[in-house]
Amino acid sequence: MKRQIFTEDHEAFRETVRTFLAKEVTPYYEQWEKDGIVSRDAWRAAGRQGLLGLAVPAEYGGGGESDFRFSAVLAEEFTRAGAAGLAIGLHNDIIGPYLTSLATDEQKRRWLPGFCSGETITAIAMTEPGAGSDLQGIRTAAEDRGDHWILNGSKTFISNGILADLVIVVAKTTPEGGAHGLSLLVVERGMEGFERGRNLDKIGQKSQDTAELFFHDVRVPKENLLGELNGAFVHLMTNLAQERMGIAIAGIAAAEHLLEITTQYVKEREAFGRPLAKLQHIRFEIAEMATECAVTRTFLDRCIADHSDGTLDAVHASMAKWWATELQKRVADRCLQLHGGYGYMTEYRVAKAFTDGRIQTIYGGTTEIMKEIIGRSLLG
Ligand SMILES: Cc1cc2nc3c(=O)[nH]c(=O)nc-3n(C[C@H](O)[C@H](O)[C@H](O)COP(=O)(O)OP(=O)(O)OC[C@H]3O[C@@H](n4cnc5c(N)ncnc54)[C@H](O)[C@@H]3O)c2cc1C
């Protein structure tokens, strides 16, 4: 089915992203996977190409483009290229909105130009060793010392954790406040007492630097409070829908791409004297996956359009997230099976997609938490 949500401008942007990936990412990606981290040069190249801060106002060096469909194009093309390690989607679509919607003018002047040029790489640190799905369990705490906070605690599984120059940290600022005692504090590279732990060894997305962060008596100036004091929970709830859409878009794009690769593979691979594609079981596998992808694509495109119009709610974003990422997981498994032993070899795209994609049903809120959100909206 022809997609109906994109215009010529979006398709022209798609070409720009493809050219960028071919020139600045794909040639280096294998090395980054070995290094466990991408090069800062790639971030700067993305900045020069205008791929960072698409939605940031032009006066701060951004694209000034509020149409989320450009972000969707970026997510789709990065997924097709298998380039999850360069976490531009996280920077643009997850962290960007916090900075553009919550920062004061002074903070915007300080942070946004570097955000758009690629000099300032960002991260958001919610998860702790003892608190993931349940953010009310956060223990990282900031004590008010007049003109600054003293921040203590630790975070884990933080994407861009090693490269990040600016980290939005969710911390308790009112100990007895529960969910409404949390604030967003911006911790910057070089602040005394801010240390990085290990670059964590993952089963996939090897070039994405996912790290532990430690805060020992970090002096965070009051000017680095982002948004409302004790307002983090509301700020997080407001922005999580877009985070989930980004992950869902990558999910359906990955499933579609795997299906394309596998369709080609079964046409070429022969067994019992004819191509696999001639066997009924194989044809049914492909037919089922193609149908599931087509149905999901229709729903996802509607969600992308609604989000671009500002009408997508958190419940539908949660539906998109769990459905598209669970589909991605099923398709990755079935496509790997259809590749036989070759599917288990890391040099095959399907093997990498299997391990890279496995996190999708976990981060940004697990499938179970998505169902909780949907269930609560229907049943109270
Ligand atoms: C590669 C990677 C990158 C990440 N990037 C970031 C990042 O940049 N920033 C950040 O802050 N975090 C990040 N995370 C953390 C991620 O968001 C959490 O791992 C995720 O939210 C789950 O939390 P948890 O690991 O503590 O699991 P838990 O919360 O301990 O959950 C364990 C299991 O219990 C289930 N469960 C929990 N509560 C319920 C419930 N109420 N009902 C039913 N089932 C439930 C979960 O669904 C899951 O299956 C990242 C994680 C990974 C692995």
Question: 113 CA distance to ligand 1 centroid (A)?
Answer: 32
Amino acid letter, residue 334: R
Atom from ligand 1 closest to the CA of residue 126: 11
pLDDT beneath 50: ranges in the chain? none
243 as an active site residue: the answer is: yes
Q: Is 1 helix (H, G, I), strand (E, B) or coil?
A: coil
Amino acid letter, residue 197: G
Atom 17 of ligand 1, nearest CA residue: 363
DSSP state of 94: I
Atom from ligand 1 closest to the CA of residue 367: 47
Atom 37 of ligand 1, nearest CA residue: 133
What pLDDT, on the 0 to 100 scale, is given for residue 296? 98
Q: How far is CA 211 from the centre of its chain?
A: 15
Question: 369 CA distance to ligand 1 centroid (A)?
Answer: 9
Tens of pLDDT, residue by residue over 275-329, are 999 999 999 999 999 999 999 999 999 999 999 999 999 999 999 999 999 999 9
Contact 124/167 with Cβ under 8 angstroms?
yes
Tens of pLDDT, residue by residue over 115-128, are 999 999 999 999 99
Question: 133 CA distance to ligand 1 centroid (A)?
Answer: 5
Atom from ligand 1 closest to the CA of residue 368: 47
Q: Where are the alpha helices (DSSP H) in the chain?
A: 8-20, 26-35, 40-48, 68-80, 88-89, 96-102, 105-117, 232-268, 280-309, 314-338, 349-357, 367-379
CA–CA distance, 94 with 88 (Å, rounded to integer): 9
